[in-house]
């Protein structure tokens, strides 16, 4: 454990900064190890703030000189920053500091990636660049002069001048320091332009390393589509003369919404049919949209403090999901989102890392960029929209944009615009922001004398620091089907607000079949005793695509849980129903692919745990394998036809329809590979002219523990492409059998192309290991030990990525010995590491409290 316990920050302690920052001028003299940052900042007293000492955040900065109003001063320096006596009234603070981008392996602040300078400031990285009040509620205009020999020198805003070895940028929009960005390098651009609806021409660029210019066109299309969509749907226009995107190889996350200068992990912007899968294309489109949408929800209106992170993230995720639904298939997007929500957010919400969407405290804010803040935060917006209706939703959003433009706002401000527009109180609804945990909704039904009654009972299990839970407002989209499959009650939204509540429907001639929680209208766990006949009926007849899919999932889950707990064979009710869907050409291929998709093994562990069973990872794996094998046999006679029908001819295009067909085709191929020894997959692998089909073939082979030749061939073909190489590393671990997964991962770490300093490569191996449920949680403990070895090494280099990956252990207490004891020992070993970062210490401590 580290010497002193890191400090906890509380929401209740919020106080505004004592000064307003009127303007900021920065000069960067770039040098790999001795970059000089010269700042000139005008401060004026903040009339709304209590008296306080003048303190500026600053970490790992070598102070060269400091002045107040042109006079040298001698500030007190600590590991956290600088304090100095501030004069009364307005004053100018100037400082010159030295930093070393080349040795900055944490990838926070100003750092170097393949010879290129770049920055990442959110949440608190600006303090590693210069002394500043590094908090989101301090907003100011920035003028930045970049001096360097690199051909391309970029910062936020519009370019005001440039010359030999320098460029000057001015951003007229006040912004917090976390949105500051600088890039300098030998880059090439993919240029384009966009005319806003008010007729302003915007220059657009995607900047990349030489050689990557052929992979920008799709991202540029996505950017222009996002700009148009935000004008059409939310009435939001872009507000600078230029919008730059830069691709960088070493990046801790997906991308960053810096004002006018978005910085992207190259994996989230570079795309080509030969090197990117359909999933990559969809993700790139969504992330480009997400970062662009932040220009209004995040940048123009930012957060008062980091506790309000969901204000910008939940809303922006919601907006990007609307965008994807509009660009592609809305039901398919919804199903993907729910799979992701259950897999990541429900897992988090049900374990030691559970926290409210708006947390009350944190040690390291970077640990709170979570599925709860992002995805549950987005679900809350979706519920709000469903409760107030589309019209009032957009009215409230208009009010939000006019009332809070230029503000650093709070969740209270956000809810107030809805209250003002609708006249309804959202006091109870607000509990979604303040209370952690996934509500369980028990449903009972009764039918008597033509009256059908549903009784809902809600309960949220305790979460860390929150024992008692008050009832939430749960919007339940409901439809009722008659025995012949007709809809006797079209979708209506019931509002459950109490612990227990009844809803009745009269005038029915026979007992209806309910379709509850259509479109997954609330992030809850529905508990209802139902029969396989009813599930199969909904899979065949439900008009709501989400619940139609859900019925198939429920059938599969019930069968799997029975196999795991009693050893029973896969249920023929599921096999028959799934085969019917697979063969039904009237259904969208994307939907058929989703019905054929297996249930995540971690999801099954979660479900077993919640019904009081200790999950056995190997038993879950075995049952899942048996199920997949049985389904392949069940469909055997149709597989050649289904494969042929879903094989696309002609050139690859990354559209939703083609992607849906290829997804279905990949499921069929994986079934064929279970039976033909890999002949078909090998043929597809050799013939494929796009990454989606090439990788699908390789995955199908690896899943059957074959394909070593193809693995080699894939390497030879793609060793020069770092993003494809990430796929090569990850897929071998992802599809390794449980007893081999840790071994495969370990041997890949000795490969010359393994580079722990590159987060993409590290995640390719260890993210895949953590996702290989039975491999990571193998009874030998090898998975736990290997990951711990590497997390300990990585923590000294990159605390942010290390801390995020500690979440792999968050479910350890679900399992029994030897799993739980072996995992715990590794967590304790990590925590005992000398000099452990605050990030990792917080994560491991929270997990161990379980």
Residue 477: in which H helix or E strand, if any?
A: strand 474-481
Among positions 117, 362, 369, 664, the unique one binding ligand B3K when judged by CB under 6 A:
369
Instruction: Check residue 366 for interaction with ligand B3K (CB under 6 A).
Output: yes
Query: Which residue reads 């930045």 in tokens?
Result: 144
Query: Which residue reads 């799993």 in tokens?
Result: 819
124's contact among ligand B3K, Zn ion, none, with CB below 5 to 8 A by partner kind, is none
| Among the listed residues 410, 409, 399, 451, the one whose alpha carbon sits nearest the alpha carbon of residue 434 | 410
Q: Strand, helix or coil at 826?
A: helix
In contact, 332 and 656? CB cutoff 8 Å: yes
In the complex with Zn ion, the residue whose CB is nearer, 313 or 726, is 313
Site string for Zn ion, 267-306 (x = CB under 5 A): ----------------------------------------
Among positions 220, 256, 564, 659, the unique one binding ligand B3K when judged by CB under 6 A:
256
Q: How far is the CB of 294 from ligand B3K (least distance, A)?
A: 6
Instruction: Check residue 291 for interaction with ligand B3K (CB under 6 A).
Output: yes
In the complex with ligand B3K, the residue whose CB is nearer, 377 or 439, is 377
Distance of alpha carbon 59 from alpha carbon 36, whole angstroms: 15
In the complex with Zn ion, the residue whose CB is nearer, 404 or 722, is 404
- How many residues of this chain bind Zn ion (CB under 5 A)? 2
Q: Strand, helix or coil at 827?
A: helix
253's contact among Zn ion, ligand B3K, none, with CB below 5 to 8 A by partner kind, is ligand B3K
Tokens linked to 615 = 């999950």
Q: How far is the CB of 255 from Zn ion (least distance, A)?
A: 8
- The catalytic position among 147, 291, 313, 842 is 291
**Other C-beta atoms within 10 Å of 49: how many?**
13
Distance of alpha carbon 487 from alpha carbon 515, whole angstroms: 10
In the complex with ligand B3K, the residue whose CB is nearer, 366 or 731, is 366
Residue 85 CA, distance from chain mean position: 43
Beta bridge partners of 243: 204
| Among the listed residues 97, 126, 124, 125, the one whose alpha carbon sits nearest the alpha carbon of residue 31 | 97
Sequence-distant (≥ 6) Cβ neighbours of residue 183 within 8 angstroms: 116, 117, 118, 119, 152, 153, 154, 155, 207, 244, 246, 248, 261, 263
| Among the listed residues 758, 765, 749, 742, the one whose alpha carbon sits nearest the alpha carbon of residue 822 | 742
In the complex with ligand B3K, the residue whose CB is nearer, 264 or 429, is 264
In the complex with ligand B3K, the residue whose CB is nearer, 257 or 519, is 257
Q: How far is the CB of 254 from Zn ion (least distance, A)?
A: 9
Q: What is the DSSP letter of 177?
A: G
603's contact among Zn ion, ligand B3K, none, with CB below 5 to 8 A by partner kind, is none
Residue 175: in which H helix or E strand, if any?
A: strand 166-175
Tokens linked to 723 = 């993003």
Angle 572-583/545-566 helices, nearest 10 degrees? Answer: 150
Q: How far is the CB of 289 from Zn ion (least distance, A)?
A: 11
Instruction: Check residue 137 for interaction with ligand B3K (CB under 6 A).
Output: no
369's contact among ligand B3K, Zn ion, none, with CB below 5 to 8 A by partner kind, is ligand B3K
Q: Which stretch binds Zn ion (CB under 5 A): 195-203, 314-322, 616-624, 820-828?
A: 314-322
Distance of alpha carbon 423 from alpha carbon 400, whole angstroms: 15
In the complex with ligand B3K, the residue whose CB is nearer, 84 or 378, is 378
Among positions 18, 61, 107, 122, the unique one binding ligand B3K when judged by CB under 6 A:
122
256's contact among Zn ion, ligand B3K, none, with CB below 5 to 8 A by partner kind, is ligand B3K
Distance of alpha carbon 254 from alpha carbon 269, whole angstroms: 9
Touching ligand B3K, residues 301-320 (CB under 6 A): 313
215's contact among Zn ion, ligand B3K, none, with CB below 5 to 8 A by partner kind, is none
CA dihedral 305, 436, 365, 234 (to 10 degrees): -50
379's contact among ligand B3K, Zn ion, none, with CB below 5 to 8 A by partner kind, is none
- How many residues of this chain bind ligand B3K (CB under 6 A)? 12
Instruction: Check residue 345 for interaction with ligand B3K (CB under 6 A).
Output: no
What sign has the CA pseudo-torsion 39, 42, 48, 52? Answer: positive
In contact, 89 and 27? CB cutoff 8 Å: no
Q: How far is the CB of 255 from ligand B3K (least distance, A)?
A: 6
In the complex with Zn ion, the residue whose CB is nearer, 380 or 691, is 380
Sequence-distant (≥ 6) Cβ neighbours of residue 717 within 8 angstroms: none
Touching ligand B3K, residues 590-609 (CB under 6 A): none
Among positions 290, 355, 358, 662, the unique one binding ligand B3K when judged by CB under 6 A:
290
Q: Which stretch binds ligand B3K (CB under 6 A): 85-93, 289-297, 576-584, 723-731?
A: 289-297
Q: Which stretch binds ligand B3K (CB under 6 A): 28-36, 216-224, 286-294, 655-663?
A: 286-294
In the complex with ligand B3K, the residue whose CB is nearer, 291 or 337, is 291
Among positions 30, 123, 289, 371, the unique one binding ligand B3K when judged by CB under 6 A:
123
**Other C-beta atoms within 10 Å of 578: how many?**
23
Q: Strand, helix or coil at 234?
A: helix
Q: Which stretch binds ligand B3K (CB under 6 A): 251-259, 477-485, 489-497, 508-516?
A: 251-259
CA within 13 Å, CB half, 269? 32
Instruction: Check residue 253 for interaction with ligand B3K (CB under 6 A).
Output: yes
Distance of alpha carbon 654 from alpha carbon 277, whole angstroms: 8
What is the length of the chain? 850
341's contact among Zn ion, ligand B3K, none, with CB below 5 to 8 A by partner kind, is none
| Among the listed residues 676, 675, 669, 628, the one whose alpha carbon sits nearest the alpha carbon of residue 646 | 669
CA dihedral 260, 264, 266, 271 (to 10 degrees): -70
In the complex with ligand B3K, the residue whose CB is nearer, 216 or 256, is 256
Is 291 a residue of the active site? yes
841's contact among ligand B3K, Zn ion, none, with CB below 5 to 8 A by partner kind, is none
Instruction: Check residue 261 for interaction with ligand B3K (CB under 6 A).
Output: no
Q: Which stretch binds Zn ion (CB under 5 A): 11-19, 279-287, 309-317, 795-803?
A: 309-317
Distance of alpha carbon 636 from alpha carbon 429, whole angstroms: 50
Compute CA distances 402 → 296, 396, 530, whole Å. Answer: 11, 10, 49
Q: How far is the CB of 365 from ligand B3K (least distance, A)?
A: 8
Tell me whether the omega of the peptide bond preceding residue 281 falls within 30 degrees of 0, making it cis: no
In the complex with Zn ion, the residue whose CB is nearer, 290 or 763, is 290
In contact, 722 and 742? CB cutoff 8 Å: no
Distance of alpha carbon 445 from alpha carbon 454, whole angstroms: 5
Q: Which stretch binds ligand B3K (CB under 6 A): 181-189, 224-232, 288-296, 343-351?
A: 288-296
607's contact among ligand B3K, Zn ion, none, with CB below 5 to 8 A by partner kind, is none
In the complex with Zn ion, the residue whose CB is nearer, 272 or 316, is 316
Residues acting as catalytic residues: 291
**Residues interacting with ligand B3K, by CB under 6 A?**
122-123, 253, 255-257, 290-291, 294, 313, 366, 369
Q: Which residues are near Zn ion by CB under 5 A? A: 313, 316
């Amino acid at each position: 454990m580290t010497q002193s316990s890191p400090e906890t920050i509380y929401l209740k302690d919020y106080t505004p900064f004592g000064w307003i920052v009127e303007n900021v001028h920065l000069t960067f003299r770039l040098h790999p190890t001795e970059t000089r940052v010269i700042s000139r900042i005008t401060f004026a007293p903040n009339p709304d703030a209590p008296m306080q000492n003048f303190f500026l955040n600053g970490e790992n900065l070598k102070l060269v000189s400091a002045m107040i109003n042109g006079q040298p001063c001698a500030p007190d320096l600590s590991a956290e920053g600088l304090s100095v006596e501030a004069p009364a009234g307005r004053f100018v603070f100037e400082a010159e500091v030295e930093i070393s981008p080349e040795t900055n392996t944490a990838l926070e602040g100003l750092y170097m990636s393949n010879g290129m300078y770049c920055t990442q400031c959110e949440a608190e990285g600006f303090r590693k660049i210069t002394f500043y009040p590094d908090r989101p509620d301090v907003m100011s205009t920035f003028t930045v002069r970049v001096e360097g020999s690199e051909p391309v020198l970029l910062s936020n805003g519009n370019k005001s001048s440039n010359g030999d070895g320098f460029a000057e940028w001015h951003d007229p929009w006040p912004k917090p320091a976390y949105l500051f960005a600088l890039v300098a390098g030998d880059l090439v651009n993919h240029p384009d332009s966009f005319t806003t609806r008010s007729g302003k021409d915007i220059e657009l660029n995607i900047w990349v390393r030489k050689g990557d210019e052929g992979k920008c066109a799709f991202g540029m299309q996505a950017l222009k589509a996002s700009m148009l969509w935000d004008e059409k749907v939310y009435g939001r226009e872009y507000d600078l003369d230029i919008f730059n995107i830069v691709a960088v190889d070493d990046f801790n996350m997906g991308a960053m919404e810096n004002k006018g200068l978005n910085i992207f992990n190259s994996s989230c912007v570079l795309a080509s049919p030969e090197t990117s899968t359909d999933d990559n294309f969809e993700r790139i489109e969504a992330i480009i949209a997400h970062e662009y949408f932040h220009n209004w929800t995040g940048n123009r209106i930012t957060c008062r403090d980091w506790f309000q992170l969901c204000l910008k993230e939940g809303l922006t995720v919601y907006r990007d999901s609307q965008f994807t639904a509009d660009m592609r298939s809305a039901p398919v997007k919804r199903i993907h989102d729910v799979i992701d929500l259950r897999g990541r957010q429900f897992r988090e919400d049900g374990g030691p890392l559970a926290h409210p969407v708006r947390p009350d405290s944190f040690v390291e804010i970077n640990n709170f960029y979570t599925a709860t803040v992002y995805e549950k935060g987005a679900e809350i917006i979706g519920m709000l929209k469903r409760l107030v209706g589309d019209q009032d939703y957009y009215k409230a959003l208009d009010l939000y944009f006019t009332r809070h433009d230029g503000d650093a706002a709070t969740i209270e401000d956000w809810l107030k615009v809805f209250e003002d527009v609708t006249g309804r109180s959202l006091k109870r609804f607000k509990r979604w922001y303040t209370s952690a945990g996934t509500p369980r909704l028990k449903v009972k039904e009764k039918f008597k004398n033509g009256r059908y009654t549903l009784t809902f009972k809600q309960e949220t299990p305790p979460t860390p620091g929150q024992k008692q839970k008050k009832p939430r407002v749960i919007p339940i989209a409901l439809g009722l089907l008659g025995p012949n499959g007709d809809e006797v009650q079209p979708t209506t939204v019931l509002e459950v607000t109490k612990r227990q509540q009844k809803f009745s429907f009269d005038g029915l001639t026979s007992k209806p079949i309910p379709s509850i929680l259509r479109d997954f209208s609330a992030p809850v766990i529905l508990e209802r005793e139902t029969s396989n006949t009813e599930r199969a009926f909904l899979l065949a007849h439900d008009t709501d695509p989400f619940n139609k899919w859900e019925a198939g999932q429920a059938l599969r889950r019930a069968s799997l849980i029975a196999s795991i707990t009693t050893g029973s064979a896969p249920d023929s009710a599921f096999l028959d129903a799934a085969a019917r869907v697979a063969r039904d050409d009237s259904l969208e291929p994307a939907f058929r692919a989703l019905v054929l998709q297996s249930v995540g093994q971690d999801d099954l562990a979660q479900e077993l745990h919640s019904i009081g069973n200790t999950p056995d990872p190997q038993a879950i794996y075995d049952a899942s394998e048996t199920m997949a094998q049985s389904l392949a046999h069940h469909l055997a006679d149709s597989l050649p036809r289904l494969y042929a029908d879903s094989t696309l001819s002609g050139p690859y295009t990354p559209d939703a329809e083609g992607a849906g067909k290829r997804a279905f085709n990949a499921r069929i191929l994986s079934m064929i590979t279970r039976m033909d020894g890999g002949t078909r997959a090998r043929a597809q692998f050799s013939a494929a002219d796009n990454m989606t089909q090439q990788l699908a073939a390789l995955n199908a082979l690896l899943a059957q523990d074959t394909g070593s030749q193809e693995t080699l061939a894939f390497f030879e073909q793609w060793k020069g492409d770092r993003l494809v190489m990430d796929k090569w590393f990850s897929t071998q671990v992802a599809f390794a059998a449980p007893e081999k997964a840790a071994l495969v991962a370990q041997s890949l770490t000795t490969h010359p192309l393994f580079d722990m300093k590159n987060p993409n490569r590290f995640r390719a191996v260890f993210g895949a290991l953590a996702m290989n449920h039975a491999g990571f949680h193998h009874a030998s403990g090898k998975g736990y030990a290997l990951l711990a070895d590497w997390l300990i090494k990585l923590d000294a280099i990159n605390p942010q990525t290390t801390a995020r990956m500690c979440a792999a252990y968050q479910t350890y207490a679900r399992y029994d010995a030897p799993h739980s004891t072996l995992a715990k020992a590794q967590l304790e070993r990590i925590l005992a590491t000398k000099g452990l970062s605050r990030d990792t210490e917080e994560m491991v401590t929270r997990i161990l409290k379980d």
